[in-house]
Amino acid sequence: MPALPNNTAAWTALENHAQDAQNLSIPHLFQVDPQRGDRLTAEGAGLYLDYSKNRVTDDTLTLLLDLARETGVEAKRAAMFAGEKINVTEGRAVLHTALRAPRDATVMVDGRNVVPDVHDVLDRMAAFAEQVRSGRWLGFTGKPLKNIVNIGIGGSDLGPVMAYEALRHYAQKGLTLRFVSNVDGTDLTEKTRDLDPAETLVIVSSKTFTTQETMANAQSARTWLLAALEDDAAVARHFVAVSTNAEAVQIFGIDPANMFGFWDWVGGRYSMDSAIGLSVMLAVGPDGFRELLAGFHDMDEHFRTAPLERNLPVLLGMLGIWYNNFHDAQSHAVLPYDQYLAYFPAYLQQLDMESNGKHITLDGQTVTYQTGPVIWGQPGTNGQHAFYQLIHQGTKLIPCDFIGFCQTLNPLPLGNGAPHHDLLMANVFAQTEALAFGKTLEQVLAEGVPADLAPHRVFDGNRPTNTILADRLTPRTLGALIALYEHKVFVQGAVWNINSFDQWGVELGKVLAGKIVPELHAESEPELKHDSSTNALIRRYRARR
Ligand code: F6P
C-alpha cells in the first residue's frame, strides 16, 4: 500500500515550506525571476499551460512532485492504464482510456482485449449516425429524423450536452439537439414542445438503465411519441438506447439491434467518449467524433509518458493540492473564455466532485486531511460581472483556471474598435495579471484617490491562477482538454488515497426518495415514520398539491 499523503516526508516538508511560503508573493516571485512567465510553462496534446502565476517556488514544485512520487501516483497511473481493478469498492477496472485507444492497441480486461469491442461499437454508431445524418434512416411515417433528444442524467447527460455545445460550430446544420435530464416534467415538456414526434429520434442514455429520472423521462417520451404516431411499432424507428444493461433495454421495449453498449469498466462521469456520446457523433459526424477521441488519446499519452515536471495533469493536480491541503482553499474556479464551453464547469463539477468528494481512504480509514474542493465557474467575461469581485477582493482564496483560444471560430471584426476576440482575450490576460499583481495603496493614492476611499480600491493581488491556451477549439482540442481534467482528478485522488471511481454518496438519497414516492401519491393518509421535519413537509405537500 502506498503511503497516506500526510505520512510522507514530502507532506511534512510541504507543511514547513507552507509556513515560510506565507510570505511568498507572486509579484515578488516575478521580481526575483523575471523569466518565470516563460519558464513555468508546459505543453502537451496541443495545450499550453502557464502556471507561473502561482504561489510556488522551484522548491515548492519539487516537494509537490516528491509528494506525488511518495504517494505512488506513477504506479497507480500504470495500474489504471493496465486495466487493474483499481475501483476496489466495485471490483472494476477503470479504463475510459481504452475508449479512445487506436484500433491496433491492446488493452486487456479479464484476459480479453477490449479494443476490438470498443471499435465495433464505434463502427456501429458511425453507421447509424451516417444513416440519420444523411436522411436515410426514416421515421415511422417515412420522414427523415431531424430532431435528436438525448434522455439521460449525470454522466449520461453532462458530457454529451457539454461536448455538443462545445462543438456546435462543427454540428450538422438542420439537426436540432435537445438534452433532457431533470425528472421535473418541465424539462421534457419544454424541450419537446416544438418538436414533431414523426421527425424525432430519442436516445435513452443510461449506464444502468435503472436511473429513476431517466426511466421516467423515457416512459413519458414514449407516451409523447405514441400519442402522435399511435402505433407501438413506431418505437423501433424512433428510440435507441445506450447502456450496459441489455436486458433492461429489451424490457423497456427497445430493439437490441438499436442498442449501443459499453462496459462496467467505464464510469458514468467518464463515459462521454463511449456510446454515451452518440448524440455528439450524430451532431458532428463520425469523423468529428473520432477527432475528439484522438484528442483524448493525445492527452492520455502525454499523461502516461511525460516526465512529472512537464506533465500537465500532474502539474494541475499537484498545484490544486498545494492550495487545498496547505492553504485551506475550499474551492477551485474554472473559467473558460469561450462561449462554446458554457457547460464545461458544470461537466467538471460531476467529474471532480463525484470522483473526489470522499472522506474514506482505499483501506477504509477516515481521512485526516482535506480531499476534493468545490468546483465552480462560468464562461468569461460574464463571470467578471458577477462573482469576480469576491475572487479579487473577498476573504477567500480561490485558485482559478483560465482557459482561452488564440483563434476564434466566429470572427466578428469590430466591437468597440477591436475584434471581439481581442476584447475577449484581453480580459483573460488582464484578469490573471490583476489577480497576481494587484494594485497597492501607494499606487491608488498616486492616482489621486482620496485617502478614505483608497483602501476600497486596493487589490492585494497574490491570487493564484493557471492559464490554459490552445490554438483553436476543435474536436481534438476539446478531447485533450477533457482528458486533462480527467487525469488531474485522477492524480489528486491518487495522492489522497481515495477511490475516485465509485459514488456511494449518491445512494442514500436515491433509496429514501424511492420510499417517499409511494407516500406522496398514496390515496389515504400514509403512516409516516420519518423525522418530524420530513413528516410535516410530506403532509403539507400532500395537502396542497
Ligand atoms: O449520480 C449518480 C450516477 O450514478 C452517476 O454516476 C451517473 O453518471 C448517473 O447517476 C446516471 O447513471 P446512469 O447512466 O446509470 O443512468
Over the stretch 224-261, which tens digit does the pLDDT of each residue have?
A: 999 999 999 999 999 999 999 999 999 998 988 999 99
Q: Left if phi > 0, otherwise alpha if psi is -120 to 50, otherwise beta: which for 240?
A: beta
Give 250 Cα–ligand 1 centroid separation in angstroms.
Answer: 20
Residue burial 442-481, b: 16+ Cβ < 10 Å; e: rest: eebeeeebeeeebeeebbebbbbbbbbbbeebbbbbbbbb
Mean of pLDDT values over 262-273: 97
Say if residue 45's pLDDT is above 70.
Answer: yes
Number of Cα atoms under 13 Å in the Cβ half of residue 475: 22
Give 258 Cα–ligand 1 centroid separation in angstroms.
Answer: 21
Confidence of residue 1 (pLDDT cuts 50, 70, 90): low
Give 185 Cα–ligand 1 centroid separation in angstroms.
Answer: 19
- The answer to whether 385 is a known catalytic residue is yes
What pLDDT was estimated at residue 176? 98
3-class SS of residue 46: coil
- Rounded to an integer, what is the distance from CA 170 to the centroid of its chain? 21
Confidence of residue 22 (pLDDT cuts 50, 70, 90): confident
Spot the catalytic one: 173, 385, 521, 529.
385
CA-proximal residue: ligand 1, atom 8 (nearest) = 155
Q: Left if phi > 0, otherwise alpha if psi is -120 to 50, otherwise beta: which for 211?
A: beta
Mean of pLDDT values over 462-482: 98
Q: Given the CA of residue 208, which atom of ligand 1 is nearest to it?
A: 15
Residues 434, 440, 445: CA angle, nearest 5 degrees: 125
Give 506 Cα–ligand 1 centroid separation in angstroms.
Answer: 9
Considering the entire predicted model, what is its pTM?
A: 0.97
Give 507 Cα–ligand 1 centroid separation in angstroms.
Answer: 10
Calpha distance 82→178 (Å, rounded) = 37
Out of 242, 503, 507, 511, mutate this one to test ligand 1's pocket (max ligand atoms within 8 Å of CB): namely 503
Q: Are 170 and 286 in contact (CB under 8 A)?
A: no
Cell of 13: 516538508
CA-proximal residue: ligand 1, atom 6 (nearest) = 268
In the 8-state DSSP scheme, what is residue 142? S
Helix 158-166 vs helix 278-305: angle between axes, to the nearest 10 degrees?
Answer: 90
Q: What is the predicted ipTM?
A: 0.98
Mean of pLDDT values over 428-441: 98
CA-proximal residue: ligand 1, atom 1 (nearest) = 154
Mean of pLDDT values over 64-92: 98
Cell of 441: 495603496
Reported as a single tens digit per residue, the pLDDT across 373-393 is 999 999 999 999 999 999 999
Say if residue 416's pLDDT is above 80.
Answer: no
Give 242 Cα–ligand 1 centroid separation in angstroms.
Answer: 13
Nearest to 224 by CA among 274, 258, 178, 262: 178
Computed on alpha carbons and rounded to an integer, the radius of gyration of the chain in Å comes to: 25
Reported as a single tens digit per residue, the pLDDT across 174-212 is 999 999 999 999 999 999 999 999 999 999 999 999 999
CA-proximal residue: ligand 1, atom 2 (nearest) = 506
User: What is the DSSP annotation of 320-361?
Assistant: HHHHHHHS---EEEEEES-GGGTTHHHHHIIIIIIHH---B-
What pLDDT was estimated at residue 24? 86
Which has the higher per-residue pLDDT, 1 or 178? 178
User: In the structure, which protein residues have their CB atom closer than 6 angstroms to any atom of ligand 1?
Assistant: 153-156, 206-208, 211, 214, 268-269, 354, 503, 506
Share of the chain above pLDDT 90, in %: 96
Reported as a single tens digit per residue, the pLDDT across 104-114 is 999 999 999 99
Spot the catalytic one: 28, 169, 396, 510.
510
Q: Which residues pair with 148 in a beta bridge?
A: 177, 201
- What is the overall mean pLDDT for the chain? 97
Out of 89, 92, 153, mutate this one to test ligand 1's pocket (max ligand atoms within 8 Å of CB): namely 153
Give 536 Cα–ligand 1 centroid separation in angstroms.
Answer: 30
Lowest mean pLDDT among 74-83, 224-233, 284-293, 413-422: 413-422
Spot the catalytic one: 354, 358, 392, 421.
354
What pLDDT was estimated at residue 415? 65
What pLDDT was estimated at residue 48? 98
Reported as a single tens digit per residue, the pLDDT across 474-518 is 999 999 999 999 999 999 999 999 999 999 999 999 999 999 999
Out of 87, 156, 504, mutate this one to test ligand 1's pocket (max ligand atoms within 8 Å of CB): namely 156
Say if residue 327's pLDDT is above 90.
Answer: yes
Mean of pLDDT values over 331-352: 98
Calpha distance 187→182 (Å, rounded) = 6
